[in-house]
Amino acid sequence: MPFTAASVLDIGPLLVAAGVLTALIAFLVNLRRARSDDILKTATDLLEKAYETLMPKDDSSEPTNRRLSWLSAARLIATAERLEKAITENSHLLVYREKKEYWRTRLYELIFPSPPDGLPSSFYAEKPEHMIAYSGRVRDPLSEKSVAFLYRFIRWPETVRDPLGEEPAFTDAEIERMQAFGPRGLGKLLGEVRSLKRAASER
């Protein structure tokens, strides 16, 4: 039926209500996304601050072994882990997890140099008994809880799939091309590795 002036007046409030509802939904969606983005940035910043807290002091090659620094770093990461659960946007969560793996690797290199030995025992405490009780006359030992938290954090999580896990090794054709066109050093090395493997399998 054709619209009349009366019918237009009847549906006018409905159109206004629909417009207001659409604007409200768009506002809430944008608000949710902005909040998720804020959490992403804050959580990432906390991971970076944790790394900076443990950075070597005074041109030392070792991370700082101040008790408070290790406690602070552990607490910063623990807070970032809690914030991760509040990220609502899938794209933000994906970005955060990639950034977390980056900082996990940086922390691994910092607090677990030269595996499997790592840092010397005297780094954590001057004497073993200081981990049980110590006085103000000795350097404060590191808190075992903070050390445990940080070393557990730097381990590759079993639930995370390695993105390089399914990457195939170089083919013989690729190695031959490297030997001809470069990088020749890598091509030479891999050629020798393949020869050693063939010799071992023929034994």
Q: Which tens digit of pLDDT belongs to each residue from 18-35? A: 777 787 777 677 788 899
Nearest to 45, CA basis, from 85, 4, 80: 80
**Is the model's pLDDT at 4 over the cut of 60?**
no
Q: Per residue in 141-154, is it b (16+ CB within 10 Å) or e — as a string? A: bbbeebbebbeebb
CA angle 122, 128, 134 (to 5 degrees): 100
26 vs 48, more confident: 48
Contact 123, 62 (CB under 8 A): yes
pLDDT for residue 3 is more than 60? no
Q: Is the pLDDT of residue 202 over 80?
A: yes
Could you report how far apart the first and last alpha carbons of the chain are, in Å? 92
Q: Is the pTM of this model over 0.85?
A: no
Supply 184's token pair. 């020749």
